[in-house]
Amino acid sequence: MPPKQKQPKAKKPPEAVWTYRGYELKSSEFTTAMVHFFRAEVQRANAWRLRLDTTTNWAVVTTGAVLSFAFTQADFGHFVILLNLLLVTMFLVIEARRYRYYELWSTRVRLMETDFFAAMLVPPFHPSPDWAETLAENLLMPHFPISNLEAVGRRLRRNYLWIYGVIATSWMAHLWLFPVPSSTWSEVVARAGLGMIRGEWFVYGGAAFFMGVLIMALATVGLQHSAGEILPRFEGVSADFLTSLTNRGVNPIAWFRPSSRRKQLLTLIITEKAKAVADIILQDMRRGATMLSAKGAFTGKERQILLVAITISEVNTLKSLVAQTDSDAFVIVSPAQSVFGRGFQSLQEKPK
């Protein structure tokens, strides 16, 4: 009898990523759904971004028209400029509200860019553990990611401070020049009066308003919750640290051509489970780890220190892997001038 031929093993059907009422989505279908969702959120963000430009255009056009009228009407010109100040402030409030809606959509876009699509490009090629939960929470319970103060401050610094500056300069110029050029400050203040309202009220009230606008613009500089701006999103890495990486070591000959190489870092991992941490880093990130031993200065306890060279996009992955293995580990991230060897610059390559 001829020998029995081995039957080929049936391929195991791909595991469903998502199931609901009998429906199943495979991994390819899930990715396709996410791509369409991403495109929809980008379209939403773009629509609200255009609405921001519309409000700014209203403020610019209104200011230009009012100033053209004011400098042809000597009697009531300065009062019209003050009315325009109220209009521009109203446009600023409207634009800040629109900016908060824009941030709602752009936050979702940035979350998918950094935690879904970027994860496809960086080992170990899987997204952040909590990105799906964060996105689902944002869809189920949407809320504005930034406050009114941050929205107003950002629009002020981007556009409206310049418009307010033009209005203030034009107002003072009108008071100084019309109907004839003034020679004293008291005469300028007197010209600002209207009816029974003395000029001092207008002048010093206007100065207080412009000073308040400037203070608000400066006081909100530190608010950095906006995702729609060009800001890095690396949890646990400060903006100052990333700025130092960007500005460090600029080649004066090629200052106009920024390097496309990812920023290189050196991490020190102080742990009592050095072997396990090194193994998981080698397995999941394909990065080598050099082990050193040291005693604590006060406790005298023996600890191991792992030296791992990584790039800026691998910080979150490294943190997650170390936390899984040793939640009591201590991780220090510092910039590296240059890293040569496998996975980085070639040893024969000249540093740029």
The pTM assigned to this predicted structure is: 0.64
Cα–Cα dist 203/185, whole Å: 11
Phi first, then psi: what are they for 96, rounded to 5°?
A: -65, -40
| Architecture, CATH, for domain 239-249+260-335 | 2-Layer Sandwich (3.30)
Give the model's pLDDT for residue 296: 62
Distance of CA 258 to the CA centre of its chain: 20
Half-sphere exposure of 144 (CA within 13 A, CB side): 13
Collapse the DSSP code of 332 into the 3-class scheme (helix H, G, I; strand E, B; otherwise coil) and give the result: strand
Separation between Cα atoms, residue 46 and residue 56, nearest integer Å: 16
pLDDT at 209: 92
96-122 confidence digits (pLDDT tens) = 999 999 988 888 888 888 778 877 777
Residue ranges of alpha helices (H) inside 113-198 are 131-140, 148-155, 161-177, 185-191
| Res 41 pLDDT > 70 | yes
Q: Quick one: which of 126, 104, 103, 106 has its CA closest to 316?
A: 126
Domain ranges in the chain?
23-219, 239-249+260-335
Q: What's the pLDDT band for 260 if we cut at 50, 70, 90?
A: very low
Mean pLDDT of the chain: 78
Q: Are 112 and 41 in contact (CB under 8 A)?
A: yes
Task: Look at 145-149, 198-202, 230-234 and tell me which has the smallest mean pLDDT.
Answer: 230-234
Task: Give residue 165's pLDDT band: very low, low, confident or very high (50, 70, 90).
Answer: very high
